[in-house]
Structure 1
Amino acid sequence: MPASTINLDDRYYPPLEVKVDAQDAGKEVRTVLERRLGVSRKLLSQVKLTEHGLTVNELRAYTSAKVAEGDVIRLRMEREESDDILPENIPFQIVFEDVSLLIVNKPAGMIVHPTHGHYTGTLANAVVYHWKSLGERVRFRPIHRLDEETSGLVAIAKTGYVHQQISEQLQAGEVDKRYRAYVYGSPDPSSGVVNEPIDRDSDRPHLRVVRPDGYPSITHYETAETFGAEQEGGGAAACIKLKLETGRTHQIRVHMRHLGCPLIGDKLYGPDEGGIERWEQAVGRQALHAETLSFVHPLTKQRMVWHAPLPPELIQLEAVLRGKS
């Protein structure tokens, strides 16, 4: 049955489309799609198995077919759903959403994806409910994650292609992720780069540590503000702005502890002798927030930037550190 006589919207996401130009005339479909759209071989192999997944001028085509100038190649990915994730009506903040991408501002205390022992109450449960309430059939594909007690921006792809494209930007260091942290003490020097490998602690596998045989890990930091050399009831604190060049588990927390400036409220990597109680109570969790995220949108090819304002608990912590609360 010709594609034009059936409702493809029910089965497929909106198609990716390429009009063959003179430069690509005579080349194979797979070559054109790889060059023009960056479609991976793995993704292409999945798509071509479906009836209307790959067409040239709306006729089913093989990836090895050669195309002529003016031909229109369309790539359609089947709609998927996360059937193993229970939809839950949990409020969350949407920063941006279109047909292919969702950016959310995750609150502290929420896990991104269900894990053993945490099958409900996660961001995934909330997002799946949101999509179902809109009548959308979408699989939950987080491009990166945040720790449970870290707030801020999380990107979620709505198609396999978008996930592949942004993941490649991550691997190439083209995704700009910036964080704000509040720490004990202040780094010396006040700005710089921590280039120290990270891996699991041999004695406590749930923890990460700096170790020579670990995975390359690079964190850029800059002191934005300090809060008194000798405050009543404790020593100095600082607000630190950070940019990740790599994305290891607990990377910022481990690197800041390595600098001698552990995060306020961090239960795993906090001060060995205990923190300042009023600071810890003010924030109620580790003082880390993913405040800026930027990458090239895979469909529009435009670089986009998203921001998440400081949540109330970090505003409260700032006030306490400044002696205003």
Structure 2
Amino acid sequence: MTSYYPPITYIVPEAEDGWLLKTILLRRMHVSRKLQSRLKLTEQGITLNGRRVYTSVPVQAGDEVAIRMEQETSDDILPQPIPFEILYEDEHILVVNKEAGMIVHPTHGHYTGTLANGVVDYWRQKGEAFRFRAVHRLDQETTGVLAIAKNPYVHQHISEQMIGNRVDKTYLALVHGTPEPPEGEIDGPIDRDPEEPHRRIVTPDGYPSRTKYRMLESWADGSLVRLKLETGRTHQIRVHMTSIGCPLIGDKLYRHDVYKDIESQGSEPGNEAEADVSLMPSFERNIVLLDRAIPRQALHAFELSFEHPVTHEKMTFQAPMPEDMRELRELLQKGRYS
């Protein structure tokens, strides 16, 4: 027997009397045509007043339209008892605070130890069946708010909000230097670096990319910056902040230009961590010491806001700045890094 998740329902108002069922599904319940096709294949996938009908039938005011999705599991993900912090959970969504160093989803060479492995195990321990569907991405070393959809309808709905720029994603970053001006928008197209394909660069031929920023605090050698993504390119914040001369502290991929000078003075590329800082000018020394003070890029997904796909409530989730970034902030305040 097919097992279903609880139904998602809609009561037809007077103004929509006579509409076709498929129009209600698409325009009012925002069920994509692809998902409608999938729901039609199951006995209780789409019902009108509890009965299975063709989606071409007209509806009447007061009718109850319901969709039911089959229960799923992530059979390709090995359950592992990996702890993670839950910020919010209901029958449709799980929101977590991802820690640094944790990969979100298994990839080639990383089949275990990911957030997905821990979430799948958590659901199994609760006796629940869901497929792991992260609705957005965070880099392995980036911390903060991450939303996970529990069914294809929720995933589709939030994805459409993201495409329509109706999901607000706000980050906190500790960067080298001081942005000038202290508040603005970086509008710089991004694409792969042809010389290093794993890196991204700002290039006129790239994909449109926009990041709004506002400096919250500033010290002699760095700043705390609040950033809001207007687009969602890979490494967007890291690339954009580097492009304005304020790379993220601790970032080993998008580094400050002073490392080019350090390399030219004899340090082997990639081995600057071994360089003798006592021989460096104070400006270079402070940059290197700050980068050594945190083992990752100092980037945190602080806030995520979107409309709940089922209740339609505007929801906002926040994760406090992690300990390693708080400690780095204190170093910047003191101005002593050795």
TM-score bin (small chain): over 0.9
Alpha-carbon distance, 1:25 to partner:
2.1
Which position in structure 2 is the counterpart of 1:164?
156
Pairing partner for 1:263 from 231, 244, 248: 248
- Counterparts of 2:197 and 2:299 in 1: how far apart (Å)? 22
Q: Does residue 104 of structure 2 align to residue 112 of structure 1?
A: yes
Q: Structure 1, residues 184-207: CA drift from partner, whole Å, max 9, x if none?
A: 111111111000100011111111
The secondary structure found in structure 2 opposite 1:241 is strand
Q: Which amino acid aligns with 2:245?
A: G
Q: Does residue 123 of structure 2 align to residue 123 of structure 1?
A: no
Which position in structure 2 is the counterpart of 1:90?
82
Q: Does residue 40 of structure 2 align to residue 40 of structure 1?
A: no
Which position in structure 1 is the counterpart of 2:280?
none
- Counterparts of 1:219 and 1:70 in 2: how far apart (Å)? 45
Which position in structure 2 is the counterpart of 1:210?
202
Pairing partner for 2:8 from 16, 19, 38: 16
Q: Does residue 233 of structure 2 align to residue 248 of structure 1?
A: yes
Q: Which amino acid aligns with 1:281?
A: R
Which position in structure 2 is the counterpart of 1:315?
326
Pairing partner for 2:179 from 168, 179, 187: 187
- Counterparts of 2:184 and 2:228 in 1: how far apart (Å)? 11
Alpha-carbon distance, 1:264 to partner:
0.5
Q: Does residue 315 of structure 2 align to residue 304 of structure 1?
A: yes
- Counterparts of 2:189 and 2:71 in 1: how far apart (Å)? 40
Q: Does residue 13 of structure 2 align to residue 29 of structure 1?
A: no
Name which of structure 1's ranges 104-113 and 68-77 shifts more when overlaid on structure 2.
68-77
Alpha-carbon distance, 1:62 to partner:
1.4
Alpha-carbon distance, 1:177 to partner:
0.5
Q: Does residue 43 of structure 2 align to residue 58 of structure 1?
A: no
Q: Structure 1, residues 141-198: CA drift from partner, whole Å, max 9, x if none?
A: 1110100011001111111111111111111111111001111111111111000100
Alpha-carbon distance, 1:302 to partner:
1.0
- Counterparts of 1:209 and 1:224 in 2: how far apart (Å)? 26
The secondary structure found in structure 2 opposite 1:268 is coil
- Counterparts of 2:112 and 2:127 in 1: how far apart (Å)? 21
- Counterparts of 1:171 and 1:223 in 2: how far apart (Å)? 27
**TM-score, normalized by length of structure 1?**
0.92
Q: Which amino acid aligns with 2:313?
A: Q
Q: Which amino acid aligns with 1:132?
A: R
The secondary structure found in structure 1 opposite 2:169 is strand
- Counterparts of 1:12 and 1:132 in 2: how far apart (Å)? 17
Instruction: Give unmatched runs, 5+ long, in structure 2.
Output: 260-283
- Counterparts of 1:302 and 1:176 in 2: how far apart (Å)? 14
Contact 2:209 2:230 in 1 (8 A): yes
Q: Does residue 113 of structure 2 align to residue 146 of structure 1?
A: no
The secondary structure found in structure 2 opposite 1:215 is coil
- Counterparts of 1:175 and 1:224 in 2: how far apart (Å)? 22
Q: Which amino acid aligns with 2:257?
A: D
Q: Structure 1, residues 61-103: CA drift from partner, whole Å, max 9, x if none?
A: 1111222222222110111111001111011000000000011
Alpha-carbon distance, 1:324 to partner:
7.5
Which position in structure 2 is the counterpart of 1:232?
none
Which position in structure 1 is the counterpart of 2:297?
286
Q: Which amino acid aligns with 1:60?
A: R
Q: CA RMSD in A?
A: 1.4
Contact 2:250 2:293 in 1 (8 A): no
Q: Structure 1, residues 115-165: CA drift from partner, whole Å, max 9, x if none?
A: 111111111111111111111100001110100011001111111111111
- Percent identical pairs in the alignment equals 55
